[in-house]
Copies of this chain bind each other. A is one copy, B any other.
Amino acid sequence: MTATDDLIDRLPEPPEALARATSQAERVADMLRAFVIDGALSPGTRLSEERLSRKYGVSRNTLREAFRLLSRERLLVHQMHRGVFVNRPTSDDVRDLFSARRSLELPAVRGARGAPEDAVSAVGAAVAEGEAAREVGDWWRMGTANMHFHQALAGLAGSPRIDEFMSQVLAETRLVFHVMNAPEQFHAPYLDWNRRIHLRIAERDPDTAAVELSRYLDTSEEQLVTAFTAMERATGDA
C-alpha cells in the first residue's frame, strides 16, 4: 500500500458513460423505443422483421433481441407466429396506468419533506419547460414537459427502481395519447396546476401538494377515460 494507491482510491467513481459499449440490440431497442414514444410508429403497427432488419442493417436475430427488451416494457406486444406490434392500450389500460401512477407519485410527494434540493428543483425545471413550450405554442413539447414533471415527482422518492418503473408507465401513457388523435392539448390546462404543486413542494408543504396532485390525477384520468371510451366506440371495438 503506497501513497499512490491512496490517491487512486480517492479518485471519483467511474462515470456511467465509461460502461462498455452497448450492444447492437440495445441500440436498436433505444431507437425503436424513441420511435414508439414520439409516434413515428403508431399503436397497432406491425414491425416486420425482414423489412426492419434490411432498413437498419442488422440481422433478424439481433432485431429479435431488441423486440424482447421492448415487449418487457409493454411498448411492443409479441404475438406468436404473427409478429410484434406497437402496443395499443385499451381504456382498461388507461385506468390501470393511473392506478399505478397514484401508487408511485403520491407517496413520493408525501415524503418530499426530506427530499434533496436538486430533486425538488427538477420538478420546478419541468414546470418551467412546460411554460416555455406554452409560450411558443409547442404542444408536443408541452406533453414532454408534463411527462418530465411527473417523472420528477416520482423522483422525489429517490429510488432508481421507482424511477424506472415510472418512466415505463409514462411511456405507455404516451401511447394512450397516440391512439386518440387529440395528442397533447390535454396537457395545456394542467400547467398552472403543475406550478401550484411545485410551489407546495418547494415550501415544504407536501401534504397539501399531495392533495392537489390527487385531484389532478382524478380529473385527468376521468377526462382521458371518457375521451378514450368515446373513441373506442367510434373506431369500432373488437
Q: Which residues of B contact A69 (CB under 8 A)?
A: 68-69, 72
Q: How many copies does the complex hold?
A: 2
In the complex, A104 has a CB within 8 A of chain B: yes
Q: Residue A106 at the B interface, CB < 8 A?
A: yes
A100 near B: Cβ within 8 Å?
yes
| Interface assignment of A64: CB less than 8 Å from any CB of chain B | yes
**Which one of A50-58, A130-138, A157-165 is at the B interface?**
A157-165
A49 on the B face (CB < 8 A): no
Interface size class of A (residues with CB under 8 A): 35 or more
Q: In the assembled complex, how far is the CB of residue A168 from the closest CB belonging to chain B, in whole angstroms?
A: 9
Please name all residues of chain B whose beta carbon is closer than 8 Å to the beta carbon of A169 when the two chains form the complex: 161
Q: Is the interface of A mostly helix, strand, loop or mixed?
A: helix
Residues of B within 8 A of A99 (CB): 157-159, 161-162
The answer to whether the Cβ of A65 comes within 8 Å of any Cβ in the partner chain is yes
Q: Are B158 and A25 in contact (CB under 8 A)?
A: no
Q: Distance in Å from the Cβ of A114 to the closest Cβ of chain B?
A: 12
| Chain A positions 19-61 with a Cβ under 8 Å from a chain B Cβ | 19-23, 25, 61
The 6 nearest A-B residue pairs measured at CB: A20-B80, A72-B72, A68-B68, A99-B159, A100-B161, A61-B61
